[in-house]
Structure 1
Amino acid sequence: MNASTRRLSAALAVSTALMVAATACGGTTKSDSNKDDAKSAAAGKADPNAKTKKGLTVAFLPKQVNNPYFTTSDNGGKKAVQQLGSTYKEVGTSSGTDTSGQVSYVNTLTQQQADAIAVSAQDPGALCTALKQAMKNGVSIVTYDSDTKVDCRNAFVSQASAEDLGRTQVQQIAKQIGNKGEIAILSAAQTATNQNTWIKYMKDELKKPAYKDIKLVTTAYGDDDAQKSFQQTQGLLQEHPKLKGIVSPTTVGIKAAAQYLAGSKYKGKVKLTGLGTPNDMRAYVKNGTVEAFELWDPAKLGALAAHTAVALESGQITGKAGEKFKAGDMGEYTIGKDGVVTLGKPTVFNKSNIDDYKF
């Protein structure tokens, strides 16, 4: 072997050694350490009996920190994460519309090698690039309360199904008016997708024989504006003097309607139900204006998001429809179409339990 050949061989040896060293160092990164798990997930392999991993870092990124609703939700997530033997952290912006801030937090959490991120998306598409990069780096992504695009997360934890939200509101108002009389709907914007979906199920529910003596006279739109919703409530009662009940599937609308009814001759006579928060509705429940209304329990929503994230990291699920996993004392859940996990039927709030909820 001549000198030139020896020098070439030595260079190749050094190069090979450096590549091996680089590979060994790279093995400590989140991306490489989860490569096998990522391959299994991509292949659709889930083991519901896999051991629950401990020592994970699960980060919650709500739409807005210090918002009572998300404080309650994320505290539910914190409790579940800690019970599962992992570390919880919460990050986020103080504004509910700072999408760029959410993107920045996703990028930072990815760089910090968080194991999982539970995020309530301010915008369905704006986070996608950052979330996809996080998933490429082995981070499990769960959306909760507000979803992003299907391919930008592993699973979405939904508050309740649209069908349940629509049908149960009809069931509530029917019970309160004794299954007889005229009712009206006070919605948000006429183009609001979620409102229209719920109303569609309300109308379908009303077709059942059990509600043959209930008549839906009209649907009014308050555009999620408190003053307009207040005025629409007044208009409904003036135009329909025989009205027995109002269903308002919007937190702004139901509060405005309650404000009007509370100061009118209709208090206690015209029933009101729909979707609202306990903090908004507490006074109206206690003074007899409202008998009962609905929403989901945000603490349980956060807890389910935490269990979903840990189940993904543990390889118990991959996010495909039909997969099952256990969520502590909340029981077993099955992943539905498009990776959606539904919390369950909405919670009914009334005088007996409303003080148990602070959001």
Structure 2
Amino acid sequence: MLINTRRFAALAAVALTASLALAGCGSDDDGGDGGSGGGSSKITMIPKSLGNPYFDASTAGAKRAAGEFGGKVDEVGPTGDAGPDSQVPFIETATQQGVGALVVSANDPTALCDSIKTAQSADIKVVTFDSDTECRDLFVSQADAQGIADKQVELIAKQIGDTGEVAILSAAANATNQNEWIKLMKANLEANHPNIKLVDTVYGDDDDQKSFDQTAALLQAHPDLKGIISPTTVGIAAAARYLSTSEFKGKVALTGLGAPSQMKTFIDDGTVTEFALWNPDDLGYLAAYAADALVKGEITGKEGDTFTAGDLKKYTVGANGVVVLGDPFVFDKSNIDDFKF
């Protein structure tokens, strides 16, 4: 994936502006016609939880997109509760207020479906991003699931010499994207890395302290552990924080999916050598453009539909209503200073 570095330079300012503008769903009635068939799009953005830098960046990207296509984005969502039902009241409120579209990173593949179907029956378009559900119009995927899984396996194998015990520190046990990546990582390890043994998978629920504690527990339970894969920005940062001041620094490798701003310290001090991610600002930007295209009737979400997403150019809807942002990008000491999100 080619990442627009100029965008990152402005991201902090955009995110600050966005945070100052946060309001309850539909708290501002301007923003144009929320229905389909033309007009500007009023979009409610519902991340897994508020206060996560990853989702701060994706919302900033969505708001930047809305500024370009003449729409409006409001961010609402749970704070500190990543439970499967925690997003339901926000979906219900947005439905009652008649927004044009919902853009949701789902905490559960099925728990939101009743509320989403109610929204759809009111002609509200539903786009998921980052983590999917079984009941939406379109899913904007950060990268191909197989590519994400393979990249993380590639990185850990390289760092531990393709041999030894590894463990996975995930987010919530019911997170759709995490579980898909874990399934694919397991298959890759079994097929291509016979000398690497996956000994445990634990869940930090995208909570910093719980992820920190789970890292400590993993290392106590598995004294021969050679590496940890954490496919979540909260988890990898918490694991790195634990390793950085422990006896395991430099002995246990850590990789996964992380935000450069959170991981720079650990790259600089040698706790972590490489990790991967995509640009969450681009992900939110693309999701907002997809929602706008649905609201305006330019696409329906069927395979083969095409739309233009601003400076990300043209995208085509794939099978099962999936739009893929691009390939994961690897961050290391040679490039970590170039990225600010």
Counterpart of 2:151 in structure 1 is 168
The match for 1:155 among 138, 155, 164 is 138
Residue 300 of structure 1: how far off its partner (Å) = 1.4
2:56 aligns to what SS in structure 1? helix
Of stretches 303-312 and 329-338 in structure 1, the one that deviates more from structure 2 is 329-338
Structure 1 residues not aligned, in runs of 5+: 1-29, 38-52
CA gap of 1:354–1:337, structure 2 versus 1, over 3 A, is: farther
Counterpart of 2:51 in structure 1 is 66
2:199 aligns to what SS in structure 1? strand
User: Identity of aligned pairs, percent?
Assistant: 42
Counterpart of 2:166 in structure 1 is 185
- Alpha-carbon distance between aligned partners in 1 of 2:168 and 2:259, rounded to the nearest angstrom: 16
- 1:188–1:195 Cα contact (<8 Å) kept: no
TM-score, length-scaled by structure 2: 0.73
Counterpart of 2:285 in structure 1 is 303
- 1:285–1:292 Cα contact (<8 Å) kept: yes
- Alpha-carbon distance between aligned partners in 2 of 1:203 and 1:100, rounded to the nearest angstrom: 28
**Matching of residues 1-359 of structure 1 within 5 Å:** 34=36, 53-97=38-82, 102-150=87-135, 153-176=136-159, 180-188=161-169, 197-202=180-185, 204-205=187-188, 215-224=195-204, 225=210, 226-233=212-219, 236=222, 238-239=223-224, 243=226, 245-251=227-233, 254-255=236-237, 257-259=239-241, 261-263=243-245, 267-268=249-250, 270-351=252-333, 352-353=335-336, 356-358=339-341
CA gap of 1:99–1:194, structure 2 versus 1, over 3 A, is: closer
Residue 155 of structure 1: how far off its partner (Å) = 0.8
- 1:221–1:229 Cα contact (<8 Å) kept: no
- Alpha-carbon distance between aligned partners in 2 of 1:111 and 1:122, rounded to the nearest angstrom: 21
- 1:250–1:276 Cα contact (<8 Å) kept: yes
CA gap of 1:355–1:96, structure 2 versus 1, over 3 A, is: farther
- Alpha-carbon distance between aligned partners in 2 of 1:124 and 1:57, rounded to the nearest angstrom: 24
- Alpha-carbon distance between aligned partners in 2 of 1:113 and 1:256, rounded to the nearest angstrom: 39
- 1:185–1:248 Cα contact (<8 Å) kept: no
- Alpha-carbon distance between aligned partners in 2 of 1:127 and 1:196, rounded to the nearest angstrom: 17
CA gap of 1:309–1:265, structure 2 versus 1, over 3 A, is: same
More helix by share: 1
Structure 2 residues not aligned, in runs of 5+: 1-32, 205-209
Note the alpha carbon deviations across 1:53-86, whole angstroms, 9 max, x for none.
5532222222333332222111110001111122
- Alpha-carbon distance between aligned partners in 2 of 1:327 and 1:271, rounded to the nearest angstrom: 38
Residue 257 of structure 1: how far off its partner (Å) = 4.5
Partner amino acid, structure 2, of 1:230: A
Of stretches 260-269 and 215-224 in structure 1, the one that deviates more from structure 2 is 260-269
Structure number with greater Rg is 1
Of stretches 258-267 and 330-339 in structure 1, the one that deviates more from structure 2 is 258-267
CA gap of 1:354–1:174, structure 2 versus 1, over 3 A, is: farther
Residue 256 of structure 1: how far off its partner (Å) = 5.2
Note the alpha carbon deviations across 1:236-272, whole angstroms, 9 max, x for none.
4x436xx5x5434355654455345434565445543
Note the alpha carbon deviations across 1:314-333, whole angstroms, 9 max, x for none.
22211112322222222332
TM-score, length-scaled by structure 1: 0.70
- 1:320–1:339 Cα contact (<8 Å) kept: yes
- 1:185–1:219 Cα contact (<8 Å) kept: yes
Residue 306 of structure 1: how far off its partner (Å) = 0.3
- Alpha-carbon distance between aligned partners in 2 of 1:54 and 1:161, rounded to the nearest angstrom: 32
Note the alpha carbon deviations across 1:188-231, whole angstroms, 9 max, x for none.
479777556434533554578xx77x821342334434323224
- 2:260–2:336 Cα contact (<8 Å) kept: no
- 2:169–2:229 Cα contact (<8 Å) kept: no
Partner amino acid, structure 2, of 1:129: D
1:311 aligns to what SS in structure 2? helix
- Alpha-carbon distance between aligned partners in 1 of 2:178 and 2:196, rounded to the nearest angstrom: 16
CA gap of 1:198–1:100, structure 2 versus 1, over 3 A, is: closer
Which 4+ runs in 1 deviate beyond 6 A? Answer: 98-101, 189-193
Partner amino acid, structure 1, of 2:156: I
